[in-house]
Structure 1
Amino acid sequence: MSDFLPQEIIHRILLHLPVKSLIRSTLVCKSWKSLIKCPDFIESHLSTTIVSNDEKDSHLLLLSASSEDGHTRHQHHSLRWDSPEFGAHSMLPTPVIYLENKPVSDLGVVGTCNGLVCLEIDRTGTGSDPMPVLIWNPSIRRVVMVPKPPLCSISTDDNRYTTLGFGYAAHSNDYKILRVVTDVTTNVDYDSIDEIFGVVNFADDDRLITTFVQVYSLASGSWKSLSDSVVPLDLKGGGNEDFVFVNDTLHKLEARFNEDEDEGEYYNDEDMVIRTFNLSTEEFGEMMGPEALEQGRCSIARYGDSLAFGDHYDNGLRDRGCDIWVMRQYGVAESWTKLFKIYVDPARIHGFKRCGDVVLEKKISFGQSRLTSYNPNKKQYSDLGTVGHSYYFMDSFIESLVLLDHCNAISYQVAGA
């Protein structure tokens, strides 16, 4: 084909091929391999795929779950069609890494963007030693091992609570990981401390609570610590809420830190705020949720290019459920609009499909849950045929070539292969 078609036509044809076909095409000749691994081609192919998927309405969702077999934990990652039917597309074999010459495949999802998935080994959020983190492209089976961040703590205890967020900074064409760590040190000897790292949330004779923030850049391959002056006083690591990535920005629902003469300093679960971190500017901010909420049991999720807010309530067996609000115009608090009410037993909002259906996770037993879909127009629930695992992550996914040109990306082995 290279002998009969102009290079421009070949380039245009390759741009419209799926990822698997392009990987095979790198074996055709050196010129094709060089073209397909070119950063400009990888970026153009991603843009072309996004437009093509919109035209064909062929979108995918990454669905992740965990299960336990005795003392062994397993991760399950699959792709589903983002459609009312929620049909299965493919399984994604978990990459295997080696720590101290032992294979590790218990890798939970932190977040996903542009075909990349951020994985970490320990999803409990506690522990004194930073756990290994990977950036994974399952479509081309390549992975980058993220270096361990510098230790920024005085504590020798295991009372450390960590939250990670992952997303894309369009301004610098870079993928970044946000790491928020809250350290609880007991029996503090202040006279022996030369320097306190991070923002001091609370301090007395018995406890010192500090929070520090680090950012990893895939482009530079390194971590950096943010200045204490830009870290909010009531920011904290850990908790049950994960970061939600929308519009270059990570979002997390948090309780405000209050000072009260009678109660002292404490986190107020009745005063919630959506904490934001812009990956391009690396600045923190905040958004207000809808007004007139009961608060206490709230959650946020990505809704298209904006945010959805779930206000959970439980007033007895006959009156329990969740009010769903959507921010119609991203960043405008006045645009919060109540869409519908779900009358179900308390269930976690797992995410939203493009058609507007909300996906709910309901616990069946310890370590097992079921996903159901609710259509607000028909007011009908549908069983998605997902049972037997504990589901914890769902977000949109697009197959891409990102990492194909990365110098530190390596091919990996597949669990069980």
Structure 2
Amino acid sequence: MWDSPPPEILTFVLIRLPIKSIITCTSVSKTWKSIIQNPSFISIHLHHSKNKHPLLLFRLPPSEHRVSGKELYALYCDNNNPDLYEHTRFDFPLSGTFRVVGTCNGLVCFTMKFTDRFFFWNPLVRKLVILPTPSVGLRTLRFYNPSIGFGFDPKTDDYKVVRIVSASESESSKVPKVEVYSLATAQWRVVTAVPPTGTAFADRCDPHAFVNGALHCVASKNNIDNEILNFILVFDLGDEVFREIAMPKPLDNPENLVGVSVSAYRNSLALIQWGVSIRCVDIWVMKWYAVASSWTKMFSTLADQGGFLPRPIGFKKTGEVLLEMHKGQFVSRDLETQQIKDLRTIGDKFTFVDSYVESLVLLNKPNCAFAY
């Protein structure tokens, strides 16, 4: 009878296989299945995947959804070719209107619009987790507006959703509640940490930027002179405490802005600014994380004669910004060299784009993740 190779050799071979082949290998024997579904193997595989060619996850335009009636997503290989190469595509297994809260280590977090429903999805292993209903929400508040983020806590090897729930303006005196969902415990819990008094959020629909084990969003509050000041609110997923990062001086005054959002940029942050009196888009990059003096304006453009402004929709792992141009054309722009590359891909205002890494996350969660 043929003997299975030693576990270390088997691991060395398996992590180099496509994910579909790895999943097929779980049917070879109980030993192989045990190795593949072991958290350490999933972690090793993830580390290996991060060193492969980067991928981009696209939510395709609604016109592409008409056949299935479900949101359609595609993975594109982002290599040195002149255009993107479609790796695979898949539809979200549920019908409805959803918003992407964030992506991390191959896991995508969604919320269904106008509800308190949340989902984790790994499209490559075809696993979905339906999160329990949060305790703070429609059942307890008549009017409320949550700010939501999703990320990974490396200290506990856990994936977390964070909801900062504020009451409506008529109930603005109430202190916001902060609720955290942990995939490890499969439960929501209210934490003691709260944002600084008087904190308001620039746009609660903007995704939080996940960087260095923490979530980041744009917020404002009154300073000691009772002036409104913009800042970046940070929630550390490990310690579960709030802190602040100052914005560049031109951006800390709300009168200078129509809108501003924060994104992950390499291992630091970027701010995207929309001007007021002059239609323009500026991009600021924090060269050294959490060092406010390192904010540097890296990109600035005015509207063309027709009034069109490029729409920044995210950053590649290499640091290039993805821009939606006229008629939905996508280009990438290197903020260091200003070199532009036509990605030869078309989208629209509904398109979501983010970096993606292949992973086996959820494969070892039979009690909470269901296959489809």
TM range (shorter): 0.7 to 0.9
Identical aligned pairs, as a percentage? 33
Alignment gaps of 5+ in structure 1: 97-103, 187-199, 203-208, 262-266
Contact 1:348 1:362 in 2 (8 A): yes
If you compute each CA radius of gyration, which structure gives the higher value, 1 or 2?
Answer: 1
1:21 corresponds to which residue? 21
TM-score (norm 2): 0.85
Does the alignment pair 1:232 with 2:196? Answer: yes
Specify the SS of the correspondent of 1:285.
strand
Q: How far apart in 2 are the matches of 1:323 and 1:143?
A: 38
Q: CA deviation at 1:25?
A: 0.6
Does the alignment pair 1:307 with 2:292? Answer: no
Specify the SS of the correspondent of 1:95.
coil
Contact 1:165 1:250 in 2 (8 A): yes
Does the alignment pair 1:117 with 2:79? Answer: no
Equivalent residues in 2 for 1:7-406, closer than 5 Å: 7-51=7-51, 53=52, 58-65=53-60, 67=62, 74-83=70-79, 85-96=83-94, 104-122=95-113, 130-151=115-136, 157=142, 159-184=143-168, 186=170, 201-202=172-173, 210-227=175-192, 230-236=194-200, 239-257=204-222, 268=228, 271-293=229-251, 295-296=256-257, 297-313=259-275, 315-316=277-278, 320-344=279-303, 345-361=308-324, 370-376=329-335, 377=337, 379-380=339-340, 382=342, 384-387=344-347, 389-406=348-365
Q: CA RMSD in A?
A: 3.0
Specify the SS of the correspondent of 2:349.
strand
Stretch moving more, 391-400 or 229-238: 229-238
Contact 1:86 1:384 in 2 (8 A): yes
Specify the SS of the correspondent of 2:234.
strand
With over 3 angstroms needed to count, the CA separation of the structure-2 counterparts of 1:66 and 1:73, relative to structure 1, is farther
Specify the SS of the correspondent of 1:165.
strand
The one-letter code of the counterpart of 1:346 is L
Contact 1:94 1:107 in 2 (8 A): no
* Number of aligned positions between the proteins: 358
Q: CA deviation at 1:210?
A: 4.7
Stretch moving more, 307-316 or 139-148: 307-316
Q: CA deviation at 1:8?
A: 2.9
The one-letter code of the counterpart of 1:112 is T
TM-score (norm 1): 0.76
The one-letter code of the counterpart of 1:133 is F
Q: How far apart in 2 are the matches of 1:2 and 1:120?
A: 48
1:193 corresponds to which residue? none
Contact 1:66 1:73 in 2 (8 A): no
Specify the SS of the correspondent of 1:391.
coil
Task: Return the structure number with greater strand share.
Answer: 1
Q: CA deviation at 1:166?
A: 0.5
Q: CA deviation at 1:287?
A: 0.6
Alignment gaps of 5+ in structure 2: none
Q: CA deviation at 1:379?
A: 5.0
